[in-house]
Chains A and B, each alone.
Chain A
């Protein structure tokens, strides 16, 4: 699927559409970032200077091997007075790989929600296919996430450097990263198993799925496998997963679970509703004292 690169350093170019810069800052958190970047010739990166100015890039006299695009694509957007669409088309043509950094570049994301006409991700607008960059689909890799995890970008760049084929899912996201659910590895899993709901926010105990709107079982991501900033994740500390790697991000009614007659509207991927409800019905019958109590009893004095 991907051709071999020259033995000299591949050229990397990071361009932005409508963005908050979150993916850039997420990437800057990467351990050993300098070692990784040294293996590329960086033509342009938003956070530090390179041998080329922005104006050099915009005049489109250069070409790159790896094109990274961050932010929502807006066909009317101008950067430095030049239509970004033209700039992107130019670099996309010669690039061997095109990486959509973040949910905005992958699916349109947050900024495609505002005045949505002319806005989308590289290949998708929410879950719908868009044809603007369709001719380059063989080279596109989506690293959705709001923001994406820096290790996901590191993985992709290193796979490219080692000439390895990256297996992608139907949304063009690497399967080795997005095959997991953000539910896998959450420290609250036992509460999910026995259907012990968190009664409120701010507790170590309880599963956030039933009432606090956690999208973990419906979200493809490896947040609880790789961990964020090498130490933690949202659900571990008690914030519900917001489903930010999926094409329908942002949804609405965050922090609450939509229920129909107390039954969660959305249930774990590919689990039949009957099976799920039978399990829940049975599990909710049991009251396991240990799981309904506090994990750590600070009040008992010794």
Chain B
């Protein structure tokens, strides 16, 4: 029996078609019904217009798109014979704002998606207010705005560096916001200090803690989420940053990766037309996002968790919480390394002299974001965008399911809906 379930309160819209075997999900396909046509819109435009257009693919991760565009452009410059090397100051500022956007995403997902969705599965609903997540996110946005001018949609990264030229005033203000955010996280969400949390050896260390996250962890265990939601136990991290380590992982064995092996194919959705494409690496499906990054970076608490619970829904959710803590710590520390006397932007060749292809890869909150650009005399000939949701939430056949499809098999429909969300779908990104 096929049931269609409309998924709401995600970025955009998606539907899941459940093929039930009694009370259990036998198989599911995912449909993204909208299309905006941004890739063809970018054709024939000035290359620099992409810095304004691609962030508008998505309201919650526009910054990641901006960085992917600027990296793709700089890669094109390199392939065109005019390598661009931004200063350490510019790279640090770019990374800081990206980290803040990621933190912002994680908070919103926790409070506005995961906790409310989990509460549907138990008798007692959570009393946490969703807007707690929004408050934390607004603090992160302030830190971004000090360098980017505003959040969302700043367009402050350009070829060769960044448009801003901050003083220590901005750096100190940003540091204050991060500290406030850490305090909020510790007091209102975590129930323990950040340092203690990052020193946890296993999730047993949550015992005795009273907080939103401790309750979340306990509820996941009560619902046996550590025994459900398994995907292929294969992970992919493609974006190079100081907080990630690129690689392809099968279980915990790491392999070398190259973005050129990413391909996309039409999704398989027998019940309704979809506009999304599935993303594969060397013709296989891989999970991306926080869990992938944490395992790839060898974070011991996540490795311990993975040893016991593999890539269950529990691991997926808890990994993101651990990443949130790590990113807060990382954000704090990189601000200290900023040298205001360095240049914000290096001299670059006139873009009209660039005829070349380039690839820009960024770790967005949900996984790798790939932008492929082809320039001719500074004009865009073609532009391709591959989003992390295409890796995680593709729709394929029974014989070769995508991570989310595999994870939803063999459980109840309600649980499957929850597990679907543990992958954090960004539908607007996927239907660009």
Direct A–B contact in complex, judged by CB atoms less than 8 Å apart: yes
**A residues lining the B interface (CB < 8 Å):** 18-26, 28-31, 33-34, 37, 46-49, 53-55, 77-80, 110-111, 113-115, 146-147, 200-204, 223, 228-239, 242, 244, 250, 252-256, 296, 298-299
Q: Is B270 an interface residue (CB 8 A)?
A: no
Encode B16-45 as 1/0 by CB contact (under 8 A) with A. 000000000000000001101110110001
Q: Is the CB of B149 within 8 A of A228?
A: yes
Using Cβ atoms and an 8 Å threshold, which residues of chain A touch B142?
229-231
C-alpha gap A175/B410 in the complex (Å): 57
Q: Is the CB of B46 within 8 A of A253?
A: yes
C-alpha gap A34/B166 in the complex (Å): 33
List B236-283 residues whose CB lies under 8 Å from chain A.
none
Using Cβ atoms and an 8 Å threshold, which residues of chain B touch A253?
46, 49
Q: A49-B9, A55-B6 are in contact. Are A31 and B138 (CB under 8 A)?
A: yes
Which residue of B is nearest A150, CB measured? Answer: B138
Using Cβ atoms and an 8 Å threshold, which residues of chain B touch A48?
9, 112, 116, 130-131
Min distance, Cβ B238 to any Cβ of chain A, angstroms = 23
Contact of A232 among B57, B58, B149, B343 (CB under 8 A): B149
Q: A202-B162, A237-B156 are in contact. Are A254 and B145 (CB under 8 A)?
A: no
Using Cβ atoms and an 8 Å threshold, which residues of chain B touch A299?
341
Encode B320-352 as 1/0 by CB contact (under 8 A) with A. 000000000000000000001101110100000
Q: Is the CB of B137 within 8 A of A29?
A: yes
Q: Is B186 an interface residue (CB 8 A)?
A: no
**B residues lining the A interface (CB < 8 Å):** 6, 8-9, 11-13, 33-34, 36-38, 40-41, 45-46, 48-49, 51-53, 56-60, 62, 90, 108, 112, 116, 129-131, 134-135, 137-138, 141-142, 144-156, 158, 160-167, 173, 340-341, 343-345, 347, 428
Q: A22-B153, A253-B46 are in contact. Are A110 and B53 (CB under 8 A)?
A: yes
Using Cβ atoms and an 8 Å threshold, which residues of chain B touch A25?
59-60, 152
Which residue of B is nearest A256, CB measured? Answer: B48
Contact of B56 among A20, A55, A236 (CB under 8 A): A20
Q: Is the CB of A234 within 8 A of B344?
A: no
Q: A19-B428, A229-B138 are in contact. Are A147 and B152 (CB under 8 A)?
A: yes
Q: A23-B59, A25-B60 are in contact. Are A232 and B13 (CB under 8 A)?
A: no
Min distance, Cβ A250 to any Cβ of chain B, angstroms = 7
Instruction: Show 15 residue pairs from A and B whose CB-CB distance is below 8 angstroms, ordered by the A residue.
Output: A20-B58, A22-B153, A78-B33, A114-B37, A114-B40, A202-B345, A203-B165, A231-B142, A234-B150, A237-B156, A239-B163, A239-B164, A244-B153, A254-B155, A298-B340
C-alpha gap A218/B30 in the complex (Å): 45
Q: Is the CB of A20 within 8 A of B59?
A: yes
Using Cβ atoms and an 8 Å threshold, which residues of chain B touch A78?
33
Contact of A54 among B6, B49, B148 (CB under 8 A): B6
Q: Supply 15 further A-B pairs (C-beta < 8 A) apart from A37-B131, A201-B160, A239-B155.
A: A20-B57, A22-B152, A22-B153, A33-B134, A47-B108, A47-B134, A48-B112, A48-B116, A113-B41, A201-B163, A202-B345, A203-B344, A232-B149, A234-B154, A244-B153
Using Cβ atoms and an 8 Å threshold, which residues of chain A touch B148?
237, 239
Q: Is the CB of A242 within 8 A of B108?
A: no
C-alpha gap A270/B80 in the complex (Å): 44
Q: Is the CB of B152 within 8 A of A231?
A: no
Contact of B59 among A22, A239, A255 (CB under 8 A): A22
Using Cβ atoms and an 8 Å threshold, which residues of chain A touch B173?
231
Which residue of B is nearest A244, CB measured? Answer: B153
Q: Is the CB of A254 within 8 A of B48?
A: yes
C-alpha gap A229/B48 in the complex (Å): 25
C-alpha gap A233/B156 in the complex (Å): 11
Which residue of A is nearest B348, CB measured? Answer: A200
Using Cβ atoms and an 8 Å threshold, which residues of chain B touch A252?
45-46, 49
C-alpha gap A242/B150 in the complex (Å): 13
Q: Is the CB of B6 within 8 A of A29?
A: no
Across the A-B interface, the 5 shortest Cβ-Cβ residue pairs: A202-B344, A22-B59, A202-B345, A228-B150, A21-B59
Q: A47-B130, A234-B156, A296-B167 are in contact. Are A22 and B116 (CB under 8 A)?
A: no
C-alpha gap A202/B158 in the complex (Å): 9
Min distance, Cβ A67 to any Cβ of chain B, angstroms = 18
Q: Is the CB of A255 within 8 A of B51?
A: yes
Q: A24-B59, A231-B173 are in contact. Are A237 and B12 (CB under 8 A)?
A: no
Using Cβ atoms and an 8 Å threshold, which residues of chain B touch A296?
167
Which of B51, B60, B138, B152 has the largest number of chain A CB atoms within 10 A?
A: B152
Which of A23, A30, A46, A230 has the largest number of chain B CB atoms within 10 A?
A: A46
Which of A22, A235, A236, A250 has the largest number of chain B CB atoms within 10 A?
A: A22
Which residue of A is nearest B177, CB measured? Answer: A231
Using Cβ atoms and an 8 Å threshold, which residues of chain B touch A26?
59, 152
Q: Is the CB of A229 within 8 A of B13?
A: no
Q: A29-B141, A31-B138, A228-B145 are in contact. Are A20 and B158 (CB under 8 A)?
A: no
Min distance, Cβ A132 to any Cβ of chain B, angstroms = 20
Using Cβ atoms and an 8 Å threshold, which residues of chain B touch A203?
165, 344
Which residue of A is nearest B105, CB measured? Answer: A25
Min distance, Cβ A30 to any Cβ of chain B, angstroms = 8
Which residue of B is nearest A74, CB measured? Answer: B34
C-alpha gap A277/B12 in the complex (Å): 48
Min distance, Cβ B3 to any Cβ of chain A, angstroms = 13
Min distance, Cβ B135 to any Cβ of chain A, angstroms = 8
Which of A46, A228, A250 has the largest number of chain B CB atoms within 10 A?
A: A228
Contact of A114 among B33, B38, B145, B161 (CB under 8 A): B38
Contact of A242 among B135, B144, B155, B347 (CB under 8 A): B155
Q: Is the CB of A229 within 8 A of B145?
A: yes
C-alpha gap A256/B37 in the complex (Å): 25
Q: Is the CB of B8 within 8 A of A54?
A: yes
C-alpha gap A19/B100 in the complex (Å): 23
Which residue of A is nearest B346, CB measured? Answer: A202
Min distance, Cβ B176 to any Cβ of chain A, angstroms = 11
Using Cβ atoms and an 8 Å threshold, which residues of chain A touch B160?
201
Contact of B343 among A34, A114, A115, A202 (CB under 8 A): A202
